[in-house]
A = this chain, B = another copy of it.
Amino acid sequence: MKCTATANSNIALIKYWGKADDKLFLPTNSNLSITLEGLNSHTTVDFSSDYKEDMVNIDGKNMEGEKKEKVVKQLNLIRNIANSNLKAKVVSKNNFPSAAGMASSASGFAALTVAACASLGMNLDKKQLSIISRQGSGSSCRSIYGGYVEWVKGKKSEGSYAVKVADENYFDIRDVIAIVEQEEKKVSSRAGMAETIKTCPLYKSRVDAAEDNLLKIKRAIKEKDFSEIGKIAEFDCLLMHATMIATIPSLLYWSPATIKIIKLVQEWREEGLESYFTIDAGPNVHILTLPENEKEIVKRLREINDVKDIKSCKIGGDAALTEKHLF
Contacts and interface: CB of A to CB of B under 8 A. Distances in A.
Contact of A239 (B201, B209, B212, B235): B201
A259 B263 CA distance: 14
Given A202-B209, A206-B201, A208-B201, A246 B238 contact: yes
Interface in A202-246: 202, 204-206, 208-209, 212, 234-235, 238-239, 241-243, 245-246
A256 interface: yes
A55 to B, nearest CB: 37
A85 interface: no
A207 to B, nearest CB: 10
Nearest to A260: B256
Contact of A243 (B242, B258, B260): B242
Closest 6 A/B residue pairs (Cβ): A256-B256, A242-B242, A201-B209, A242-B246, A202-B202, A205-B205
Given A202-B239, A204-B205, A238-B245, 16 more contacts: A201-B205, A201-B206, A201-B209, A201-B212, A201-B239, A202-B202, A234-B250, A235-B248, A235-B250, A238-B250, A241-B245, A249-B266, A252-B262, A252-B263, A254-B259, A259-B259
Main secondary structure on chain A at its contact with chain B? Answer: helix
Interface in A53-76: none
A238 to B, nearest CB: 5
A3 interface: no
Nearest to A257: B256
A255 interface: yes
Contacts of A250: 234-235, 238, 266
A279 B254 CA distance: 16
Given A201-B205, A202-B209, A243-B242, A259 B252 contact: yes
Interface of A: 201-202, 204-206, 208-209, 212, 234-235, 238-239, 241-243, 245-246, 248-250, 252, 254-260, 262-263, 266
Nearest to A212: B201
Nearest to A258: B259
A285 to B, nearest CB: 13
Nearest to A246: B242
Contacts of A260: 256
18 contacts: A201-B206, A201-B208, A201-B239, A202-B205, A202-B209, A202-B239, A204-B205, A205-B205, A234-B250, A235-B248, A238-B245, A238-B246, A238-B250, A239-B246, A242-B245, A255-B259, A256-B257, A258-B259
Contacts of A201: 205-206, 208-209, 212, 239
A235 B246 CA distance: 7
Contacts of A208: 201
A202 B212 CA distance: 13
Contacts of A246: 235, 238-239, 242
Nearest to A210: B201
Contacts of A205: 201-202, 204-205
